[in-house]
Amino acid sequence: MKGLFQPHSLWYKCCKLGNIDCVFDKTGVSVKNKGRTWFADKDAPCYPENLRCVPEPPALYVRGNVMPQDRVCVAIVGARRATSLGKSLCYELSKTLARAGVTVACGLTGDIATKARQGVSDGNGRALVCLPRGLSSKHEDISVPGAFLSEYRDETPPAPWRHVAKHRIIPGLALGLVVVEARNDSRSLLAVDWAIRFGRPVMAFPGSPRSSAFSGTNRLIQEGAFLVTGAQDVLSFLSREDEYVPNLSERIAPFPDGAEQTVIMQGIKEGALTAQQLAESMPRIPPAKIMAALGVLEVKGLVVRESDGRYAPARLLEGL
Query: Among residues of the chain, what percentage have pLDDT more than 90?
Result: 29
**Reported confidence tier of residue 243, pLDDT bands at 50, 70, 90:** low
Q: Average pLDDT, stretch 231-244?
A: 74
pLDDT per residue over 124-180, tens digit each? 999 999 887 777 755 544 567 888 888 877 777 666 667 777 888 999 999 999 999
Query: Which of the two residues, 287 and 88, has the higher pLDDT score?
Result: 88
CA dihedral 10, 49, 259, 302 (to 10 degrees): -30
The pLDDT score that the predictor gives to residue 113 is 92
CA angle 258/263/265 to nearest 5° reads: 110
The pLDDT score that the predictor gives to residue 24 is 33
Q: Is the pLDDT of residue 104 over 90?
A: yes
Which residue, 173, 160, 34, 50, is CA-closest to 106? 173
Domain regions of the chain by residue span: 260-318
The pLDDT score that the predictor gives to residue 240 is 61
HEC-encoded secondary structure of the chain: CCCCCCHHHCCCCEEEECCEEEEECCCCCECCCCCCEEEECCCCCCCCHHHHCCCCCCCEEEEECCCHHHHCEEEEECCCCCCHHHHHHHHHHHHHHHHCCCEEEECCCCHHHHHHHHHHHHCCCCEEEECCCCCCHHHHHCCCCEEEEECCCCCCCCCHHHHHHHHHHHHHCCCEEEECCCCCCCHHHHHHHHHHHHCCCEEECCCCCCCHHHHHHHHHHHCCCEECCCHHHHHHHHCECCECCCCCCCCCCCCCCCCHHHHHHHHCCCCCEEHHHHHHHCCCCCHHHHHHHHHHHHHCCCEEECCCCEEEEHHHHHCC
Neighbours of 19 (CB within 10 A): 7
The pLDDT score that the predictor gives to residue 215 is 93
Q: Any idea which of 25-29, 103-107, 251-255 has the lowest mean pLDDT? A: 25-29
The pLDDT score that the predictor gives to residue 58 is 84
Candidate CATH numbers 1.10.10.10, 3.40.50.720, 1.20.120.80, 3.30.110.70; the one for domain 260-318: 1.10.10.10
Q: How far apart are CA 204 and CA 45, in angstroms?
A: 33
Mean pLDDT for the chain?
A: 76
Q: How far apart are CA 116 and CA 284, in angstroms?
A: 28
**Reported confidence tier of residue 182, pLDDT bands at 50, 70, 90:** very high
Answer whether 110's CB lies under 8 Å from 135's CB.
Answer: no
Q: Average pLDDT, stretch 97-108?
A: 91
pLDDT per residue over 42-76, tens digit each? 777 778 888 888 888 888 888 888 888 888 999 99
The pLDDT score that the predictor gives to residue 257 is 42
Q: Is the pLDDT of residue 227 over 50?
A: yes
